[in-house]
Amino acid sequence: MGEKVKFVVERDELVDAVNWVSKSISNRPITTALLGIVIDAQDEITLSGSDLETAAKAKFKASISQKGKVLVPGRLLAEISRALPAKPVTFNLEGTRVLVTAGSAKFTLPTLPLVEYPTLPELPKTSGNLNSDLFATAVNQVAIAAGKDDSLPTLTGVFVEINKNQITLAATDRYRLAVRELTWSAADANIETTSLLRARTLADAAKSLIGSTQVTIALPATTTNEKLVGFVSEGKSMTSRVLDGSFPPFRHLLPNDSTAEAVIEVAPFLDSVRRVALVTDKTVPLRLNFSSNTLQLEAGTGDEAQASEKLDINYKGEDINIAFNPTFLTDGLTAINTAFVHITFTGANKPAVLTGQTEAGSAPITNYKYLLMPMRYSS
């Protein structure tokens, strides 16, 4: 090979960078080179990995004694990095093998053919930025509603709409719809664009950026044929191909009025849902009977196992008997991330909308809405 690479880095810096990059490596790549992580030692270290759908890079400082570039097996590097003792880590390329040492621990990694590694795409132009933790929370609230069926690819994505200083995130699997609105610092005060991003990729990226300060987002303009979105935060970057297809119109699904509404403390409600749902399969309807300041939860019928429980709640409007998928209801109650949930109804056979409330008597927090379709059931 002729290439020489040698540097020393702190173990935690290495682990953080490798974890980020390894998320973009495929288990079944079209070429062996894509199993690898590129280590590029110049003025700083840059790690790169890609599955051709997403590409990730991480940069960090190190004590570099010999500059150069090498490709090593990514999964193996990730496992070794996490297992190393908390001591400085030395990388040394000797011939076609890389010696990794930390304290008395020594590993030898084979190298992969660097010439076969593809050129990774450049980051698109910056669209704006926002707080990383806020971004992660918003993405998690929405991604839970994304579909898992790859035969319906547009429903496996998170729809991102940017209108000047406001971002709207939305996802649906046809049984529920999650919508989150938040403000950000737009690079162009008049920016308006939309993209459809893989929910899994977006959630992984957002989760990995928790704890950093800001995340910079780059989205393709609606007027271009660009198919890449980019994320950057404190030395980490990722590009991902956007999903083809159009996200279904969703705003008309969120009703502006209601015939009944309930305010319930989330913690005891979640406990009751989980207990009552124990007697049924996760996809069997959980029946909820709302009446004057009372909620009756029931599951199971006939000769099957049955369970019921009663909760005191604040309730206004007509009595409603409705049923939900208990897993989807639990997801929504967890995602609102507040002490109380505000549920609005327009009828027993129509979707309910969950929003958060900090206190029993406070106003609903309307920047996050979780719409849940009812299930049919036989009493």
* pLDDT per residue as tens digits for the range 4-36: 899 999 999 999 999 999 989 988 888 899 999
- In order of 73, 158, 185, 245, the CA distances from 222 in angstroms are 38, 16, 19, 13
Stretch among 212-221, 271-280, 314-323 having the lowest mean pLDDT? 212-221
> Judging by beta carbons within 10 Å of its beta carbon (0-12, 13-18, 19+), is residue 224 exposed, middle or buried?
exposed
Region 284-293 average pLDDT: 93
pLDDT digits (tens, 9 = 90+) for 139-151: 999 999 999 988 8
Helices in 26-128 by DSSP H: which ranges?
74-83
Helix 199-208 vs helix 132-143: angle between axes, to the nearest 10 degrees? 150
In degrees and rounded to multiples of 5, residue 196 shows phi and psi of -120, 115
Mean model confidence pLDDT for the chain: 92
Long-range interactions of 299-302: CB distance < 8 A, separation 24+: 299/326, 301/378, 301/379
Residue 242, pLDDT above cutoff 50: yes
Q: What is the DSSP letter of 51?
A: -
Give me the mean pLDDT over the 226-241 stretch: 90
Q: For tokens 């049955």, name the residue.
A: 306
Token pair for 224: 């271009």
Q: Calculate what percentage of the chain has a pLDDT beyond 70.
A: 98
Between the two ends of the chain, the Cα-to-Cα distance in Å is 73
CA-CA distance, 277 to 298, in Å (whole number)? 8
Identify whether the C-beta of residue 41 lies closer than 8 Å to the C-beta of residue 12.
no
pLDDT tens track for 46-58: 999 999 999 999 9
Token pair for 335: 């995602």
Whole-model pTM: value is 0.90
Q: What is the pLDDT of residue 223?
A: 61
Q: Is the pLDDT reported for residue 211 higher than 80?
A: no
Q: From CA 131, how far away is CA 138, in angstroms rounded? A: 11
- What is the pLDDT confidence band of residue 224, given thresholds at 50, 70 and 90? low
Structure tokens at 72: 């090593």
Distance CA(102)–CA(107), nearest Å, equals 9
Cα torsion 139, 183, 243, 48: sign: negative
119 contacts: CB under 8 Å, gap ≥ 6: none
DSSP code for 190: T
- The model's pLDDT over 101-120, given as tens digits with 9 standing for 90+, comes to 999 999 999 999 999 999 99
Q: Which residue has better confidence, 124 or 326?
A: 326
Residue 207 has pLDDT above 90, yes or no: no
pLDDT of residue 1: 43
- Joined tokens for residue 106: 């020594």
Domains in the chain, ordered, with CATH?
6-116 (3.10.150.10), 128-251 (3.10.150.10), 254-372 (3.10.150.10)
Question: Which residue type, as a one-letter code, is found at position 7?
Answer: F
Q: How confident is the model at residue 217, as a pLDDT?
A: 93
Closest CA to 354 of 377, 310, 324: 324
220's CB contacts (< 8 A; 6+ apart) are 124, 193, 195, 226, 227, 228, 229, 242
Report the distance separating Cα 296 and Cα 279, nearest Å: 16
Q: For the segment 171-192, what is each residue's pLDDT rounded down to a tens digit? A: 999 999 999 999 999 999 999 9
Mean pLDDT of 349-364: 95
% of the chain exceeding 90 in pLDDT: 80
The residue whose two tokens read 């709207």 is 168
The answer to whether the beta carbons of residues 308 and 297 sit under 8 Å apart is: yes
DSSP H or E stretch at residue 110: strand 105-110
Which three-class secondary structure string do you get for 341-378?
EEEEECCCCCCEEEEEECCCCCCCEEEEEEEECCCCCC
Residue (of 147, 334, 54, 350) closest to 159 by Cα position: 147
Q: H or E element: which one contains 334?
A: helix 326-335
Q: What is the mean pLDDT of residues 39-64?
A: 95
Token couple for 158? 């998170």
pLDDT tens per residue across span 289-312: 999 899 999 998 877 889 999 999
Helix/strand/coil for 170 = strand
